[in-house]
Structure 1
Amino acid sequence: MITRVRHVTLACVLSAAVLTGCGTDREPSAARPAPSAPVPSRPPTLAPGPAALTPVFRNGPRTRGKVVALTFDADMTAGQGPRAAAGERFDNPELIATLRALEVPSTVFMTGRWAEEYPVQARSIGRDPLFEVANHSYSHYAFTEDCYGLPTVSADRMRSDVERAYAAFRKAGVRDPMPYFRFPGGCHDRKALKALAPAGVTAVQWDVVGGDAFATDADAVARQVLQGVRPGSVVVLHCTRSAAPATERAVRRVVPELRERGYRFVKVSELIGTADGRP
């Protein structure tokens, strides 16, 4: 989705972690403790909405403790291959390394095109129990008209676009991608929800916008997140270095401050699992 600690100890941990970021095929360390509750063999999903439409999840319950889900959109459109070939970076290994160093369970909403461009990183993220990979479409084309200037995908191709992304994940070696889908730009309508119903996914939105897209002020991004988080929040951020260059620095501030407030970081699957099947 694109829309408009201690210092010495943390620096040492992060500098070491960057060496094992998502830009390598090294498997995650077996010594890391389990970051959150185990994901069941069949991931939790929401019941279909009225008229059997795709259900939409925005946040977890507000009354079940201080938990928050950080989500990161790994965006790349179907037409951005030449820009990547010319050197533009749509990945962010430093961000993934920081999440690993800080042991922050997270959900990465990945486009199929991103997984094709960075298969080693997609595989590394998808096989690390700290993370879960969810679907952000194959092409990052919009599922409605007039969505932040994105190209659009027709209704008869919406389901196949989502399924093509899952195929790209499997080819890259991602294990068990989740049955969660995030609309590019967050843009959706009844037609899109109907088109995706046969895919059996739960659409995942958010209630906190990080504001990191095209931002260069990490402190401003961190403040926006910290001001918006409530128990059960879903925060949307990005894992695209060229379009969200301040995200990793913002995360370094957000994570310890929220932990000091008593928050525990969880994956989206854990929040959905506490929603009792209701959007």
Structure 2
Amino acid sequence: MPPSRRELLAALACAALTGCQASGGGGTGAGATAPVRPAGSGASAPGTSAPAAPDGSTIDGSTPDAPATDGPPGSADPPPGAASRAGAVARADLVSRYGQAEPTSWGFDGPGVLSRLAADDGAIALTFDACGGPQGNGYDEALIGFLRERRVPATLFLNSRWIDANPPVFRALAADPLFEIANHGTRHCPLSVSGRSAYDIPGTRDVGEVVDEITGNRAKLTELLGHPPRFFRSGTAYLDDVAARIVSDLGEHFAGFTVNGDGGATFTAGQVHDAVTAAGPGAIVLAHMNHPAAGTAAGIATAVPRLLDEGRRFVRLSDAAP
């Protein structure tokens, strides 16, 4: 008999505490397609050309790391130990449950995706991605410095590669109660059970790789923070409906967005200002903290005071979400 959902979550938490989850492979897979931006999925700015991925993938120019093994996706045996065995059982249960499921959607939405806050009191959530990789390991010190100076809370979605490249910065951010640390994946992949791609970034190839993309960085964050993250956002923010259900089964909330605040770190400061000041009550704003040369910091620095003057307040996702 397969384990219950309660047993599944307990097993994953145990495995995450030891950092034993294996990371999945990469690859484009059959049927990779160019994405179509859903209507109303984020703010656009005048004067921009082809849309950039909301998480900055087109600037990063990097692809997910190569598979860790030469075998089929997720074929590596877990290391010995009770926690590893528990994690393997949980992974196997999800593969069994969803392995034959056919996705019916692909984009920024899906079952359980949080794209707007439930609060109706004028709250706005600023969220900043750090995508990692050869062109994505930077740190926007001016942006974080402004948030600290104005005491503006935010949720920071950190990729495993960015954490590895910035350990002192990570420790300082994690120790600051102004910020909530969230999961931006292990290899920064679009979350697909069938190998679909977004913005030429290869997605996960199957259910096992979806699990690995979530739990690899979840294990790292759990070990570093002392508790698991509550929120997850995939590379490019793309996912299919089957992957969305897997995120929920693993005990995390997939965080989408209401407003694309910096166009994948391609907007000028003025465009960032216009996009962010247009955010209404309950909006989740997606922007970036790993491209210090972009217009994000300067645009946020002018947009936030305007919104505060209009009576808006800023919250972390956990302050206003389930």
TM-aligned CA distance change 1:195 to 1:128, over 3 Å: same
TM-aligned CA distance change 1:203 to 1:216, over 3 Å: closer
1:39-50 aligned within 5 A = none
TM-score after normalising by structure 1 = 0.70
2:217 paired residue number? 165
Select which of 178, 186, 189 maps to 2:237: 186
1:32-71 aligned within 5 A = 55-61=112-118, 64-71=120-127
1:236 matched to 2:236? no
2:176 paired residue number? 128
Distance in 2 (alpha carbons) for counterparts of 1:214 and 1:205: 17
1:102 paired residue number? 150
- Any conservation in 1 of the 2:262–2:296 contact (CA below 8 Å)? no
Distance in 2 (alpha carbons) for counterparts of 1:129 and 1:175: 14
Deviations 1:166-214 (A, max 9, x none): 233345x335353111122111112212333431111110111113424
1:251 paired residue number? 300
- Any conservation in 1 of the 2:118–2:321 contact (CA below 8 Å)? no
- Any conservation in 2 of the 1:215–1:221 contact (CA below 8 Å)? no
1:93 paired residue number? 141
Q: How many residues align?
A: 214
TM-score after normalising by structure 2 = 0.61
Task: Indicate the SS of the match to 1:71.
Answer: strand
Larger gyration radius, structure 1 or structure 2: 2
Deviations 1:129-162 (A, max 9, x none): 0000011101101213131111222221111221
Distance in 2 (alpha carbons) for counterparts of 1:159 and 1:90: 27
TM-aligned CA distance change 1:73 to 1:177, over 3 Å: farther
Distance in 2 (alpha carbons) for counterparts of 1:236 and 1:260: 21
**What is the identity, as a one-letter code, of the residue corresponding to 1:245?**
A
Task: Indicate the SS of the match to 2:204.
Answer: coil
- For residue 89 of structure 1, report the CA deviation from its aligned partner: 4.7
1:2 paired residue number? 56
Distance in 1 (alpha carbons) for counterparts of 2:285 and 2:220: 25
Distance in 2 (alpha carbons) for counterparts of 1:139 and 1:89: 13
| Structure 1 consecutive aligned stretches of length 4 or more whose deviation exceeds 3 Å | 173-177
* Structure 2 runs not aligned, ≥5 long: 1-54, 59-100, 102-109
TM-aligned CA distance change 1:169 to 1:61, over 3 Å: closer
Task: Indicate the SS of the match to 1:57.
Answer: coil
* Structure 1 runs not aligned, ≥5 long: 5-50, 274-279
